[in-house]
Amino acid sequence: MLQFLGMLAAIALTAICWGMYGPTLHLGREAMHSPLRPFVCVGLAYFVIAVLIPLVLLARGGERGGWSTKGVVWSLLAGAAGAAGALGVILALTFGGQPIYVMPLVFGGAPVVNTLLTAAMSRSFDQLKAPFLAGLILVITGAVTVLVFKPQMQPHAALPTPERFVEVLLSVAMAIFCWGAYGPVLHRGQAAMAGSRLRPLICIGAAYFLIAVLVPLMLLVPLEDRGTWDISGGVWSLGAGTLGAIGALGTILAFTCGGKPFTVMPVVFGLAPVINTLTTLWLFHTRATDMSPFFLAGMLIVAVGAATVLVFGPRGHSSLATVAPQAEV
C-alpha cells in the first residue's frame, strides 16, 4: 500500500510540474518574443537540475543500480524523445498552428502511442483488458475536452496556409510519437540500470541539453526568429526547464515505486492539461464564471478515467526495484 501511495505522489509531482511547464514557458516566450530562445534556457536548466545535481548526489554514494550500456542508450533516447516532442509543439505553433487544436491532438495521441508501444515492447497486448481501455479512452476524452473548452485568453488566429498546415501536422505527429514513446523507453532504460533513479535522469538531462540548446540555436536564422534575449524571459524559461526536469524525476520515481508506462503515462497526460489550464487561469486572473460546463465536465472525466486506469492497468511482471541490471521491461 505504501508503495502504491508513493507511486501516486510521484505521478502527482510529474503532472503538476509538467502542467505548470507550459504557462511558465509561455511567459518566457512573451518576454523574449521568440518560441526558440526560451527553449535554450530550458535546456540549460535541464543541464543543472538533471545532470550536475544528480552527478554530485551520485558521487556521495548510496544510489541503487549501476551504469550499463543498454541503460544509457535507452535513457538517452528517452531524453531525446522528450526534447524532440517539446520541439515538435514549438514548431507546430511557430508554423501557425493554434493551441486550441495542437495541444488536444498531442495530449490525445500521446497516450495511445504510449499504450501501443509499451504493449509491443513488453509483448503484453493480452493484458489490455476492456476496463483499462475504457479508462484510457476517458482520460484522452477528458484531456481533449479540457483543452478545447478552456477559457480563451485571446481570439483565435486565422488558420495557416495549406503548405504551412502540412508542416503543422508533421510537427504535431512528431510531438505525439516522441511524447508517446517517452515513458516506455525511459522505463526500459531504468530497468537496464537496475532501477537506478539518478543515472537515467542524468542521461535525460544530457540529451535534453543537446537538443534543446543546439537545435534551437541552429533554427534561429532559418525560421527568421526576431526575438531578443531578455532577463525576465530567461528567468521564466529557466523556471520552466526546472519544472520539466523535476517532472522527469517524478516519472522515474513513479516507475521505481512499481508503476508501469501503461498506467503512469496516461494518468500524467490526463492530469497535466488540467493543471496547465488551472495554472493559466490563475496567472491571468480568470473568473470562475468564465469556465464552460464542458470544461468542468472534462476535468471530472479525466479524474474518473485516471482512477480506472490505475485500478485496471496491466500489472506487468516485476517492479524496477527487483529487476536485474540487464532485465527487460
**pLDDT tens-place string over residues 242-253:** 999 999 999 999
Query: What is the spatial distance between Cα 308 and Cα 311, in angstroms, rounded to a whole number?
Result: 5
Q: Specify the pLDDT at position 323.
A: 43
321 located within any domain: no
Average pLDDT on 129-155 reads: 84
pLDDT in tens, 172-216: 999 999 999 999 999 999 999 999 999 999 999 999 999 999 999
- DSSP for 42-83, written as a single string: HHHHHHIIIIIHHHHHHHT----S---HHHHHHHHHHHHHHH
Cell of 110: 500521446
Q: Decide if 291 is inside a domain.
A: no
Residues above pLDDT 70, as percent of the chain: 90
Distance CA 287, CA 47 (A): 38
d(CA 131, CA 129): 6
How much is the pLDDT for 160? 62
- The mean pLDDT of 152-174, rounded to a whole number, is 73
Round to whole Å and give the CA distance between 49 and 242.
Answer: 6
Chain Cα centroid distance, residue 189: 17
Among 77, 107, 100, 49, residue whose Cα is nearest residue 242: 49
The reply to whether 62 falls in a domain is yes
Q: Where are the beta strands (DSSP E) in 166-320?
A: none
Cβ burial, residue 70 (10 Å; 0-12/13-18/19+): middle
Assess if residue 183 is contained within a domain.
yes
Number of compact structural domains in the chain? 1
Boundaries of domain holding 6: 2-126+158-257
| pLDDT, tens digit (0-9, with 9 covering 90-100), for 46-96 | 999 999 999 999 998 888 899 999 999 999 999 999 999 999 999 888 888
295 is a domain residue: no
What average pLDDT does this structure show over 20-46?
Answer: 92
Does residue 70 belong to any structural domain of this protein?
yes
Give residue-wise pLDDT tens across range 285-305.
Answer: 656 556 778 888 988 899 899
Q: Is the pLDDT of residue 10 over 90?
A: yes
b/e for 220-237, b at 16 or more Cβ within 10 A?
eeebebebeebeebbebb
38 found inside a domain: yes
